[in-house]
Amino acid sequence: MTDTDGFVLGVDLGTSHTVAMLRHPDGRTRPLLFDGQPLLPSAVYLDTTGRLHVGTDALRLGHADPARLEPNPKRHVDDGTVLLGSDQSIPVADLFAALLGAVAREAVATTGFLPPAILTFPAAWGARRRAVLGEALTRAGWPAETRLVPEPVAAARYFAEVLRRPVPAGSSLAVFDLGGGTLDVAVVRADQGSFVVTASGGADDLGGLDIDAALVDHLGKSLAGGEPAAWQRLTEPTTLAEWRARRRFWDDVRGAKEMLSRSSFAPVPVPGVEHAVHLTRDELEAAADPLVRRGVSEAAEVIAAAGLKPADLAGLFLVGGSSRIPLVARLLHSELGIAPTVLEQPELPVAEGAIIAAAQATPAPTPAQPRPGTAEAAAGGSAGAQAEPVKFAAGLATSATPTPTPATRQDSPPPITDTRAEPAAPTSAPPQSGPPQSGPPTQAAPPEEETDERLRAAPVDPWATGEAAALPTAADPIVGPSTPAPTPSSPPYVAAPTSPGYPPHHNQQHHNPQPQSPAWPGTAASQPRTPPGAGPAGATKPEAGARTTGRRRRAYIFIASAVTVVLAAGAVLAWVFWPEYRALDYHPLSEPRVITPLVPVTSDWSDAEIYRDRAYFASSDSTSNGAVGVVAIRLNATKPTWTSREAGTATRWKSMVPLPVGVALFTDLDSANDYRRRLVVLGADHGNLLWQRTLEQEDEVFFAGDSAVIADRAGKRLIGVKLTDGSQRWSQADPVSTLTTDTKVLTVTTPKDLGGPATVFGRPYEPDLADDPRIVQIGADKSARVIDANTGKILTSRQNVAEPKDEVVAHNGRLIVLQPDDQRILSYRLDKLGEPKVVYTTQAADSEMKDVTPCGDDRVCFDEEISYDAKTTTVVALDVAAEDDTVVWRYKLANVDTIIPVGEAVLVTTTVPETTLIDGTGKRIWTHTGEAARLDGGNLLEFSKALSLSPSDPALAGRHLGDQAVPLGSLNAIRSDTCAWNTSMLACVADENFVLQQFAG
């Protein structure tokens, strides 16, 4: 880590406890203490005055009125609101904000200001759940530059940097996070200085509370017989005194469990019983064994989903308070064969690792200029707000050091160190004194998200979720001693009118995906779907923010709430480089929707395609004369729209292409029929046969406009036929040549064609054929002519342009030609094919250019190698519209195989195999193995292993190009090479049927 002159704060907002680690300027890292303890209970209590209390204060107050206590707010992240008391629905973001406010006040009391901070989140959380955290940061008044880091990535950083355990580049670490409420397991891979989550999973009913419940059940077996009255009061409380006794009993059981991690026995006082009962470690392990073994099985499944075996791991790191139980490490070691690493205080590594993870993610910030309307700008640099930059470790977000305004500088109150949460200020509240605002608050509520059942489960601890109806309401008198209400230091809680509130289970239904931007059209003949290598991504390099600071003062600061919501780490960089494509709302894969095939799925050909709001599935069976069955189903439906056998039979089927009028199917070459093929088109409405045509061995088919253009090799001509009925519209003879009859045909792509879903090779799933209906033919006589695919009219032509074997691209109104003899690239205007413009000429001797690909509105990319040595390859991006200096960027990368555009970024696969993502400025974002495909111009779908025609279980992740990957879960027995996708749905052929699954939206 880089030495700094400032403090940095890492926060782990856990299900049961919240931890905040503060790194000091001298490099020391220490936990913030709450009531003298490093763990702040994540409990929140709403008192009768409307104030939210957190931590141990909340738990104490909860003894008096459990209905007003929420012990585990994080489990309700999908619910929108939580009912506290009889009639108060509190937004979950406000519960989070109350906890974050307590952390902020303790940090201010320690340092005199709120340091730059990093907040962790579970790896499985998608954009919506991170948006709840962002809203909480806003309501708590934290700076907009506060970063979010996945919890397992933070743990991995601690493992590698603090414990100094070796995690070589390309190797993986498993993180086993057994906390108080849930189990989270993840596999993270080291990728050239960064970590990326490749698989994640866990269990909602497996945590410390569940082990407590098992121990209570174990003790109940003896107490029910020996002390039946006392046990009944503990299991069926009817009065507040009995509920408080039940709570004390559960607390004592929890304390005994923790003691048994250090000793062989522990006493457990039982309310209403004279003598305490004793628990032994053997009893603890007998009660916990079934639960821990479930956790071990979950870990094994996640490791397998990452495409690894336990022996392949560089380590197994145990975090979370419940992982200190000796049985956990022992069973993991014996069952998985790898010795885990567990610390004496396993609750702390995630928060400390977050500081390191953020430091490694981005370059050091530069001071920001005051925004118009902020206190700094208004003061013009006066009133103590000097533009004095504060140094941070490289990559850490910055935070505005609070600068007192003239109205509050002289009478700031002393630091407050208790854990009473300040009320969240309504978004309509007037400006408060305190730190300069970082920007306007974000008001938009997040869209709906597929619910994660693990995170929505009710807490196991029954005292706080018991029969609230049996308890007095807030209006009823409480008999006996009670805790006095804390003296208010701020107005009572007022629910903000703009707070997002979602009813429970609001997001369990599927949603219709929106039509996507088309990608460029390809040929009808199938091209290989499994590439030599591609892959999911590694870590991004988001740009850090900046801050100005005034004089540091040890004073309590009321933190203003008008700050911009931060949705994820690196959001600023993502918007800079990919402004047209926001992050998709990724969430764990939905349960598969199974569709029964019309023809049994076997080892013969099968395929899936998505077009607009419909999925097409096809399967063939050679045992039934090669019959093919096609099934069409709307993406939001449960039953097929139609099924069809009208395509007939063939020795073997080859490919399927969706069209505006329906779906086209191609047979494979038939050696028994002079290697001819057949093209069949079925209608979109009913699956009826629209038309079919026999193709010769060398014929090719191209779809453009509302026509299919057939390159008739034997007839030496191009034929245009209607997509609707196959009738011939026009015919054009090939250019005459005495040397050869070769010809090349190209469809013309447009900028938006680079921004839609595509295969791992870049072939679009949903091209807009009408976007540019022109085709380009390169003749054997080196001529080029532009033809209207709908009419067959030759729009323009030119001699001596290129040979059919040359690499040629038709994109955005230009014809780009790579001349292999001269090793230069020329650009022609398609509207007139006038004199060409030389946009690039190699300056290296013995160089070879290849793989010319459009990679932006006016850009083409290619790779260049020297002396036929693949290790010397450099990827180059050109601006073909520039008057001079057309080279936009160069990136040296050995063994280049293919270049796939993603907006102005490119995915470059190599023969190793590996995939590298290079952004629009020529910077490498990540490199590693696997598969990756474009969802739109700013989002990728990543597979953990190569696509296969055999059933397999690859792990999936979604990635916005400026953010970390979001694990989506694993496919189950899927023939992944058949899969098709849009920006929210996945259609695949499984082992014996077809499946649809949702991963976003």
Ranking 266-280, 304-318, 831-845, 983-997 by mean pLDDT, the lowest is 266-280
Question: According to the model, what pLDDT value does residue 965 have?
Answer: 84
The DSSP line for 257-304 is HHHTTTSSEEEE--TT-SS-EEEEHHHHHHHHHHHHHHHHHHHHHHHH
Q: Tens of pLDDT along 672-722?
A: 888 899 999 999 999 999 999 999 999 999 999 999 999 999 899 999 999
pLDDT at 402 over 80: no
pLDDT at 954 over 70: yes
* β-sheet with 653-659: strand ranges across: 653-659, 662-667, 677-683, 689-695
Instruction: Write the single-letter amino acid at 325.
Output: I
- The answer to whether 118 touches 358, Cβ cutoff 8 Å, is yes
Residue 495 φ/ψ region, left for φ over 0, alpha for ψ in the -120 to 50 degree band, beta for the rest: beta
Torsion of CA 790, 795, 799, 801, to 10 degrees: -70
Question: According to the model, what pLDDT value does residue 365 have?
Answer: 37
Question: According to the model, what pLDDT value does residue 112 have?
Answer: 86
Chain-centroid distance, C-alpha 689: 41
Question: According to the model, what pLDDT value does residue 710 have?
Answer: 96
Q: Tens of pLDDT along 855-898?
A: 999 999 999 999 888 899 999 999 999 988 889 999 999 999 99
Question: According to the model, what pLDDT value does residue 361 have?
Answer: 57
Question: According to the model, what pLDDT value does residue 746 have?
Answer: 95
Q: 133 vs 738, which has greater pLDDT?
A: 133
Structural domains in the chain plus CATH codes: 593-998 (2.130.10)
pLDDT at 373 over 50: no
Strands 974-981 and 966-970, sheet pairing: unpaired
- The answer to whether 293 touches 331, Cβ cutoff 8 Å, is yes
Ranking 82-96, 139-153, 536-550 by mean pLDDT, the lowest is 536-550
Strands 974-981 and 985-990, sheet pairing: antiparallel
Mean of the per-residue pLDDT values for the chain? 78
Where do the H-state alpha helices sit in 892-984? none
Question: According to the model, what pLDDT value does residue 70 have?
Answer: 92
Alpha carbon distance 631, 619 (integer Å)? 9
Q: Tens of pLDDT along 539-564?
A: 333 333 333 333 333 333 333 333 33
Mean pLDDT of 360-371: 41
Q: Tens of pLDDT along 635-657?
A: 999 999 999 999 999 999 999 99
Nearest to 749 by CA among 723, 767, 765: 767
pLDDT at 900 over 70: yes
H/E stretch holding 240 reads helix 240-259
Q: Tens of pLDDT along 329-352?
A: 999 999 999 999 988 889 999 999
Q: Tens of pLDDT along 772-803?
A: 999 999 999 999 999 999 999 999 999 999 99
With helix as H, strand as E and coil as C, how does 71-121 read?
CCHHHHCCCCEEEECCCEEEEHHHHHHHHHHHHHHHHHHHHCCCCCEEEEE
Q: Tens of pLDDT along 189-217?
A: 998 778 889 888 888 778 888 888 888 88
Coil vs helix vs strand at 327? helix
Exposed / middle / buried, residue 475 (Cβ in 10 Å: 0-12, 13-18, 19+): exposed
Alpha carbon distance 974, 949 (integer Å)? 8
Does the model's pTM come out above 0.75?
Answer: no
Mean pLDDT of 444-463: 35
Chain-centroid distance, C-alpha 33: 33
Question: According to the model, what pLDDT value does residue 753 have?
Answer: 84
Q: 423 vs 161, which has greater pLDDT?
A: 161
Per DSSP (E only), the strands in 275-394 are 277-280, 313-319, 341-342
Question: According to the model, what pLDDT value does residue 516 have?
Answer: 32
Question: According to the model, what pLDDT value does residue 964 have?
Answer: 80
